[in-house]
Amino acid sequence: MNFKPRCVPAELQVTKYLNWRMSLSPKEHSYYLNLEKGFIGEQRVDEWLKNLSEDWLILDDLLLECNGTVFQIDKVLISNQKIYIFEVKNYEGDFYIEGDSWYTLSGTEINNPLLQLKRSETLFRKLLQELAYHYQIESYIIFINPHFQLYQAPLDLPIIFPTQLDRFLNKLVTISPKIKDNHIKLAKHLVSLHIHTSPYKRTIDYNFDDLKKGITCVQCHSFIAEFHKNELICDSCGYKEKVTSAVLRSIEEYLFLFPERKLTANAMYEWCEIIPKKTIYKVLSKNFKIFGHGRYSYYLRRDSNHSLDKW
């Protein structure tokens, strides 16, 4: 049972949108690619574990705080015997270890992921103790990419290599979680403590005027050049999408990038660029609540409490 499913991280989502609409610096683009690669790795682990019994309690992408220190855990599995915590790495290529240091084969030193795992496990254990939960914890780094190789690694490291994934999963499958009320209480408690906005997130400076306007293709992300009655057709890949769907996507993108701006017909007309204003009005009226009158009118989500969502 997944108590906290994985979502696209807000930092990755906003960077992806910006990558389509502005020129990122080489450093910003590299950061975006690393975010995307990390998320793909986490999704692969989700897929790897999809056949686990529903009796397991699973929590994805937890951001927690203990003693004033914020830490993240990619995946938590709760059973009656113990709690497993996984740090997921989607590293690709050849690496080696010397002492406590990790290097690429070319000799570039990287952060030691074992130190990150140990830190997370220590803080997680302290947090459980503060909450009066006493469970055995077993932690691992999951290297999910089949093209990863680590040389000179001691045999006793808490690592699951790509070639060991099937064997480790078979071990988990044989475990009967036997979940009790206290385990469910713990899972709910951890979800309630999850921090939704990371204090360490990196930001890219951007504003409405500087971003490229228009509707991007849902398939290839190219900008669509023309409006064809009730559908949009991408010149680059030929993908067809209903106009209403495309406009709603663009509205969500606008709200995500500019949570402080009001959603108005004029703003969306400028944002979508190729869509007639009459169509913009129609989509907004059918899917959002209108407030105010005339040029001062704006729209909110139908389930909104009169405040715009912020990421």
pLDDT digit string, tens, across residues 114-126? 999 999 999 999 9
Q: What are phi and psi of 46, to 5 degrees?
A: -60, -45
| First-residue to last-residue Cα distance in the chain | 26
Three-class SS state of 61: strand
96: which 2 tokens?
């080696």
- pLDDT category, 310, cuts 50, 70, 90? very low
Q: Is the pLDDT of residue 307 over 80?
A: no
Average pLDDT over every residue of 240-245: 94
Determine which of 165-179, 195-209, 256-270 has the lowest per-residue pLDDT on average. 195-209
Average pLDDT value over all residues in the chain: 92
Q: Is the pLDDT of residue 65 over 90?
A: yes
Q: At what angle do helices 10-21 and 26-48 cross, to 10 degrees?
A: 130
Separation of alpha carbons 265 and 267, rounded Å:
5
Separation of alpha carbons 255 and 107, rounded Å:
44
Q: Is the pLDDT of residue 311 over 60?
A: no
Q: At what angle do helices 243-257 and 277-287 cross, to 10 degrees?
A: 80
**282, burial (CB in 10 Å: exposed 0-12, middle 13-18, buried 19+):** middle
Q: What integer pLDDT is reported at residue 176 of this predicted model?
A: 85
Residue whose C-alpha is closest to residue 91's, from 63, 62, 113: 113
Written as one letter, the residue type at 148 is: F
Q: Of all residues in the chain, what percent carry a pLDDT higher than 90?
A: 84
